[in-house]
């Protein structure tokens, strides 16, 4: 099946929150420099230690931001949905990437050179405040995730991750199945636990009729109880 080509007007509509802040001249410059990149499932988008060069906006698909720790163990820091911006913080900080990014599934990204973004930020106070707000929101999410991953027990962490995925990606048409189908390894990496602990705890949740499992599909049966488990840690 041929891939659907994304038209520039569709890209502009996707990044409308940023686009509306630009002058007509700035819009023309951005339109001339933006590019569309496509990534296959599990394809790496950028690696730890690489120099950032582009602001990225996820147009279609799902992306994980992760870091490799001691012994090569992966920790998923964030998960991205469309339409969200990423890959810009390190450039503003004059750093290399301290995380990596990869596609959970086939994904399409709009990329804009950070050299251009920086120039526009210097010219446009509204755009500067746009990125300040994005960074502030990301910092708040990061702080909350740090607390959840370090202070909660295994049950609390896994319940938190399931709710986090539901709030990020929503539910299927049945109103209960989370709209992302993660491997057990990815779910463990998101929850800061071993894969065996994730498998065992999922099985316990299923036995307690909190969730139902069908391969990689996870259906939330008792969301209130999961929230209680997440809250008490």
CA dist 197 and 225 (Å) reads 20
pLDDT for 4: 59
Where are the chain's structural domains? 8-149, 153-232
Please choose, from the candidates 104, 24, 34, the residue with its C-alpha nearest in 3D space to the C-alpha of residue 63: 104
pLDDT for 1: 38
SS3 224: helix
Dihedral sign, Cα of residue 76, residue 156, residue 151, residue 88: positive
pLDDT tens digit at each of 233 positions of the chain: 345 567 888 899 999 999 999 999 999 999 999 999 999 999 999 999 999 999 999 999 999 999 987 777 788 988 999 899 999 999 999 999 999 999 999 999 999 999 999 999 999 999 999 999 999 999 998 888 777 777 789 999 999 999 999 999 999 999 999 999 999 999 999 999 999 999 999 999 999 999 999 999 999 999 999 999 998 86
- Is 8-149 a CATH 3.40.50.880 domain? no
pLDDT for 121: 96
- Region 153-232: CATH code: 1.10.10.10
Token pair of 148 as six digits: 């959840």
pTM of the model: 0.84
* 31-48 as b/e: b if 16+ CB within 10 A: eeebeeeebeeeeebbee
CA dist 195 and 223 (Å) reads 23
Length of the chain: 233
* 57-96 as b/e: b if 16+ CB within 10 A: bbbebbbbbbeeeeeeebebbbbbeebbbbbbbbbeeeee
């Amino acid at each position: 099946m041929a891939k659907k080509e994304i038209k520039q007007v569709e890209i502009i509509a996707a990044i409308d929150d940023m686009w509306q802040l630009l002058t007509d001249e700035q819009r023309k410059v951005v339109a001339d420099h933006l590019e569309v990149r496509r990534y296959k499932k599990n394809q790496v988008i950028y690696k730890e230690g690489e120099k950032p060069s582009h602001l990225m906006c996820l147009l279609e698909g799902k992306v994980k931001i992760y870091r490799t720790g001691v012994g090569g163990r992966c920790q998923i820091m964030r998960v991205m949905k469309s339409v969200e911006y990423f890959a810009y913080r390190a450039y503003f900080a004059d750093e290399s990437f301290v995380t990596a990014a990869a596609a959970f599934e086939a994904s399409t990204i709009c990329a804009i050179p950070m050299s251009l973004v920086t120039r526009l930020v210097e010219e446009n106070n509204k755009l500067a405040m746009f990125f300040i707000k994005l960074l502030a929101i990301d910092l708040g999410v990061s702080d909350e995730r740090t607390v959840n991953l370090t202070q909660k027990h295994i049950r609390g962490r896994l319940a938190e991750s399931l709710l986090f995925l539901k709030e990020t990606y929503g539910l299927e048409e049945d109103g209960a199945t989370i709209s992302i189908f993660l491997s057990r390894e990815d779910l463990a990496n998101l929850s800061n636990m071993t894969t065996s602990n994730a498998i065992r705890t999922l099985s316990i949740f299923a036995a307690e009729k909190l969730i139902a499992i069908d391969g990689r599909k996870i259906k939330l049966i008792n969301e209130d109880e999961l929230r209680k488990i997440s809250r008490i840690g």
